[in-house]
Amino acid sequence: MKFFSVLLLLLPFGGEVRYFPSILYGHILIGTGTSRYETVFTITASNETRVTVNVFTDKGEPMNASFIDERGKSAGAGSSFECYLMPDRPVKIRLALAPDEAANDVAVKAGWATIRSAEEVDITPSSGSQLRMESC
């Protein structure tokens, strides 16, 4: 109990934490068609600020993901992603499978996310999780 009390004292006061109860990403490559699932967060701020995105499994454990930028390039991997926002310049982050999981025929991840920032930010998640159907 003492550990958690000390940990809470070390956390910065102020700031904002937003909770998104439903994220989904991955793919199903078997069957009659290919299914791909993705969650995209668009984050904007009025002031310069640092933003941290954390992803968790439905059991509350850190979940491994790749974070993909607007150009489709990997911006990092792991259970969290951090970026610096400039005023009125939105950042889009797409959750994708980690490279070691992308080789599986069926790989779908579901859970939840938190987004933390020192300043107020606007966050627009994709309308729930998007389902993109592709033909083989």
> What residue ranges do the domains of the chain occupy?
14-134
Instruction: Name the 3-class secondary structure at 16.
Output: strand
pLDDT for the residue 14: 57
14-134: CATH topology is Jelly Rolls (2.60.120)
Average pLDDT over residues 21-28: 83
Higher pLDDT, 21 or 59: 59
DSSP string, 30-58: SSSSEEEEE-EEEEEESS-EEEEEEEEET
Using only C-alpha atoms, the chain has a radius of gyration, in whole angstroms, of: 16
pLDDT over threshold 50, residue 42: yes
Share of the chain above pLDDT 70, in %: 82
Is the Cα torsion angle 77, 81, 83, 88 positive or negative in sign? Answer: positive
Mean pLDDT of the chain: 78
Q: How far is CA 24 from CA 16, 31, 103, in A?
A: 23, 20, 18
Percent of the chain with pLDDT over 90: 13
Per-residue model confidence (pLDDT) at position 126: 73
Where is mean pLDDT largest: 27-31, 56-60, 128-132?
56-60
